[in-house]
Structure 1
Amino acid sequence: MTDHERPLAERGRMDAPKAGRRLTDTGLSFDLALCSTAARTRETWKLAVQEFPHRPKTVYEERIYEASPGELIAVLNETPDDVRNVLLIGHNPGVQALADILTGAADGDVRERMGDRGFPTAAFAVLSFPGRWKSLEPGAATLRDYWAPTD
């Protein structure tokens, strides 16, 4: 079995619905979910989205698998302007590096928690960005929230 086809571990199966509930608790409504084509991210998304009040449009994107932060920014830059909130379901180390790069040197408790825990399976960061998706670049976002299953 290749890494791309590796299934989600039991811990991930337990944590994904918790992440879905916690994302729902943020009050955000997602317009679009961009999900890696890897088996474990597809399964994570399938379990998490069941907790959402409404399912956003989902695009399974091959480029997210093993992507660098720059490659992830390029994928996000293609998001249409009418899409307000995007959920990216991807992999480490790229996703954690992306959150670090987009939010720059932001301080505070949320940044500290994210740095201490990293991005275990089902963890998420909520970033805000006031511009158009095609202008998303390093340092342009603000880290608003972070959650890991150990919280």
Structure 2
Amino acid sequence: MASHLLLMRHAKSSWDDSGLSDHERPLNKRGRRASGLVARTLVARGYAPDVIWSSDAARTLETAKRLIRIIPGAQTVHHNPALYHASANTMLTIMQRESEPGGRLMIMAHNPGMAELYNLITGHYHRFPTGACAVFKRIGKAPWHDPQSWRVVDMVLPRDLEAE
């Protein structure tokens, strides 16, 4: 049974190569640094994901791979093209269709969908900057894909980590 749900927006991407499509853009230097900071923070706080479901965009895959290099025991990254610019409802539909993973699941995708899903679960607006990771803990016995199944317990923001 999933104990935690982590929603993470990809880290900061590069706009240096105007010939690349949005889907192909890699991380920039700041994004690469932020990925490591977030990964180390998730490990230190006991929220490191066991499984990552990622959009197939270059910047999300690169963010996920950088996390996996740092997180001990992270199992795998599942690339899902449907997560590319997915809405909150699309992400919930994906969760409903997939079998419930054990442990801590991270969904890595894009805005505005990540902010929409955070808002749907919490009932509160929160800007979801690049590299942000919201951590939710499972509550009650509702189905895991039900937004009422989760309570926010932490919000990891790269800009706060850089200041530490």
Question: Which TM-score applies when normalising by structure 2?
Answer: 0.76
Q: 2:117 aligns with which of 91, 98, 108?
A: 98
Out of 129, 134, 141, the residue aligned to residue 138 of structure 2 is 129
Q: Could you list the runs of 5+ residues in structure 2 that have no partner in the other structure?
A: 1-19
Match of 2:8 in 1: none
C-alpha distance 93-8 of structure 1, shift in aligned 2 (>3 A): same
Cα deviation for residue 51 of structure 1 reads 1.4
- Aligned with 1:150: secondary structure? helix
Q: Structure 1 82/89 Cα, relative in aligned 2: closer, same or farther at 3 Å? A: closer
CA RMSD of aligned residues (A): 2.1
Among candidates 70, 74, 82, match of residue 55 of structure 1 = 74
1:150 and 2:149 correspond? no
Is contact 1:102-1:141 (8 Å) kept?
A: yes
How far did 1:81 drift? 3.4
Alignment of 1:98-117 (within 5 A): 98-105=117-124, 115=126
Q: What letter matches 1:40 in structure 2? A: R
Task: String of CA shifts for 1:5-41, please: whole Å, max 9, x gaps.
Answer: 1111221111100010011122135332101100001
Task: Please list every run of 5 or more consecutive structure 1 residues that lacks an aligned counterpart in the other structure.
Answer: 106-113
Aligned equivalent of 1:80: 99
Deviation at 1:86? Answer: 0.5
Q: Name the CA shift for 1:72/1:90 in 2 (closer, same or farther; >3 Å).
A: same
User: Who is 1:110 aligned against?
Assistant: none
**Which segment is superposed worse, 78-87 or 68-77?**
78-87
- Corresponding residue number in structure 2 for 1:6: 25
Q: Report the CA distance shift for 1:79/1:31 in structure 2 as closer, same or farther (over 3 A).
A: farther
TM-score normalized with structure 1 length: 0.82
CA distance in 2, matches of 1:132, 1:91: 28
Q: Which has the higher contact order (CA 8 A, sep 6+)?
A: 2
Query: 1:72: Cα distance to partner?
Result: 0.6
Deviations 1:84-134 (A, max 9, x none): 3201111111111111101225xxxxxxxx83xx22221100012336785
54 and 138 in structure 1: CA distance in 2 versus 1, 3 angstrom threshold: closer
Change over 3 Å in CA distance of 1:55–1:100 after alignment to 2: same
State the aligned residue count.
Answer: 141
* 8 Å Cα contact 1:76-1:133 kept in structure 2: no
